[in-house]
Structure 1
Amino acid sequence: MLESPAFQGGTPQMQRAEGEGRVATKARDGLSVLDTLYQSGCGKIRVPRAYGNWLEAVLINTSGGLTGGDRMAWSAVAAAGTHLAITTQACERIYRSSGGAACVASKLTIDAGARLDWLPQETIVFDGSVLERTIEVDMAGDATFLGLEAIILGREAHGEDARSAMISDRWRVRREGELLHAEAARLDADDTLARDNLALLGGARAYGTLCYVSQDAERHIERLKALVAGHPTAGASRIGDKIVLRATGRSGYHLRKIIMPAIAALSGAGAVPKLWSL
């Protein structure tokens, strides 16, 4: 009798989700249109009808969520003179791990005079989950990048705070090969100091980082500071052509109330992606 591959050596082999998606734009008649679209596994990309001079791409994980050992890889290229806006169909979910981390890697390339808005909806982490996430951005000197990553710790309606979740986030943004923004954030399981200290999360259930890199950064910073002035758990700062906004919230809804006006102010579309409001 042949042994099933799922039980080789008498040990159950867990099924793992693997997905990959790639999208690229090109310029045609003054518009940003689709040039390349590739998808495999549970990684899918849809391109809705555009109502402006940008191309919108929607990332979808058809597995319904990720757990330990799952892998997702996204890559996007905004070709010279184009505008690519990327979001997700829904919030990604990271479930309890039985071993290993759920890994999500994103690689973004922005050519001369192009713009890329990376605006996925929040990632919800559950108790016992392990997430390792990386974002690599390579941009031309006159390109524009707007990027967001946000985390919700557990489901508030269920009284969860995902205290046993582990999260590792790594950003690298390079312009003309020069490292312009680098950060590595880590939240360990049962890390009381990080969760409760007022200098860190201060008991927040949600947090997010918004990064904007453009030659016109100076023009936006005062407006952003005014937008977050009424929120003691948010702040924006500028160094050269880079703006970083960080915010925490007592819930995902509270965090959205802070970051959505900031996205609208910086977005090339002048608003958050429509899927955020559905």
Structure 2
Amino acid sequence: MYATISPSDLTPAPNPASVGAQRTSGAGRVSFKVNAEGQTRLDRLYQQGCAKIRLPKVYGGKAAEAVLINSAGGLTGGDAVSWHASAAAGTYAVATTQACEKIYKAESGVAHVANHVCVADGARLDWLPQETILYDRAGLDRTLDVQLEGNARFLAVESLILGRLAMGETLTQLAFGDRWRIHRKGRLIHAEAQRLEGNVAHIGAARAVLDGHLALATLCYCGPEEEETLKGLAESARTMMAPFEGCTVGLSAFNGKILARLTAVNGMALRAALIPLISHFRAGEPLPRVWTT
């Protein structure tokens, strides 16, 4: 026997225009400590939502690795992810990403990424995510907040690729903001704010901006070395970068840090210059394996 269903008994399908699109969110936290043998080991790990963290075995290097993964495969307007990395006294750790982060076209709003780093006295942490690829009409608001104690060492690299270059994509509209704040013993030692908004292809063509280059990166090293030592490191890095074609590099050493700006014709040229530059400031420590596989 079959029941009769009238049209009035049916629940009407939701109107797509009245339903907000699903957004992704995630939070990942990792901290490191020293074991009885003086080796850097995992202390605590927390992951929620799309934020995943993996800890691969490291061969041939001293630093423990944390590989940050956005399991959503990319970000768009309204998405939000936060990462926290901490290194206790005597540890050496590196945080990187499994792949390039992709920021897709946003119908509305921007994606939010908040990065937090704490490095104890006598510890070192290297923040080495792979490149972020910005698609046309993408929106991203990103922050990096770093707290250093005592003689902590910290190396940070953030890279951008403007558009899907292999597909000939041109960025006609973009909203990108990136803010860094680095403190040592509670005192602000580095602050910067970068913003690319509007027709980036047109803005970036200016010689004083990107000179037509489609990839850029910032590297910052903060350490306890004397000023003359830092200037020597910067000078040797400047000499190392001279042979790289299709890439412009500027380096400065001041106030207990070294700052480098790079622009390149494409992501391949940028990475070719970045890899030896990063290795230079890591005293020969090998790059995370995900960078080369």
Q: Do 2:170 and 2:201's aligned partners in 1 also have CA atoms closer than 8 Å?
A: no
Out of 13, 19, 23, the position equivalent to 1:12 is 19
* TM-score normalised per structure 2: 0.90
Q: Are positions 1:40 and 2:48 aligned together? A: yes
2:259 maps to 244
Structure 1 segments of 4 or more deviating over 6 A?
1-4
Kindly name which structure, 1 or 2, has the bigger radius of gyration based on alpha carbons. 2
Tell me the matched-pair count: 276
Residues 33 and 263 of structure 1: CA distance in aligned 2, closer, same or farther (over 3 Å): same
2:240 maps to 227
1:110 maps to 119
- Three-state SS of the structure 2 residue aligned to 1:188 is strand
Amino acid at match of 2:236: R
Amino acid at match of 1:227: M
* Cα drift, residue 148 of structure 1: 0.6
- Three-state SS of the structure 2 residue aligned to 1:255 is helix
Structure 1 unmatched ranges of 5 or more: none
Q: Do 2:174 and 2:200's aligned partners in 1 also have CA atoms closer than 8 Å?
A: no
Q: Are positions 1:260 and 2:275 aligned together? A: yes
- Three-state SS of the structure 2 residue aligned to 1:215 is coil
Q: Do 1:218 and 1:241's aligned partners in 2 also have CA atoms closer than 8 Å?
A: no
Distance 1:137 1:156 in 2: 32
1:209 maps to 218
Q: Do 1:148 and 1:210's aligned partners in 2 also have CA atoms closer than 8 Å?
A: yes
2:151 maps to 142
Residues 10 and 64 of structure 1: CA distance in aligned 2, closer, same or farther (over 3 Å): closer
Amino acid at match of 1:181: H
Q: Do 2:171 and 2:200's aligned partners in 1 also have CA atoms closer than 8 Å?
A: no
* Cα drift, residue 228 of structure 1: 1.8
* TM-score normalised per structure 1: 0.94
Q: Do 1:247 and 1:255's aligned partners in 2 also have CA atoms closer than 8 Å?
A: yes
* Cα drift, residue 244 of structure 1: 0.5
- Three-state SS of the structure 1 residue aligned to 2:198 is coil
Q: Do 1:67 and 1:130's aligned partners in 2 also have CA atoms closer than 8 Å?
A: yes
1:128 maps to 137
After superposition, the C-alpha distances for 1:64-92 in whole angstroms (9 at most, x for unaligned) are 00000000100010111101101100000
* Cα drift, residue 142 of structure 1: 0.2
Distance 1:9 1:225 in 2: 55
Distance 1:155 1:57 in 2: 27
After superposition, the C-alpha distances for 1:81-136 in whole angstroms (9 at most, x for unaligned) are 10110110000000000111001000000001000000000000100100100000
Query: Which stretch shows the higher mean deviation, 155-164 or 107-116?
Result: 155-164
2:6 maps to none
Amino acid at match of 1:71: A
- Three-state SS of the structure 1 residue aligned to 2:47 is strand
Residues 269 and 55 of structure 1: CA distance in aligned 2, closer, same or farther (over 3 Å): farther
Distance 1:155 1:99 in 2: 21
* Cα drift, residue 19 of structure 1: 0.8
Distance 2:87 2:12 in 1: 48
Distance 2:272 2:53 in 1: 27
Structure 2 unmatched ranges of 5 or more: 1-9
Distance 1:269 1:85 in 2: 14
Residues 219 and 32 of structure 1: CA distance in aligned 2, closer, same or farther (over 3 Å): farther
Amino acid at match of 2:21: M
CA-atom RMSD in angstroms: 1.8
After superposition, the C-alpha distances for 1:196-229 in whole angstroms (9 at most, x for unaligned) are 1111111111100000000233442121111222
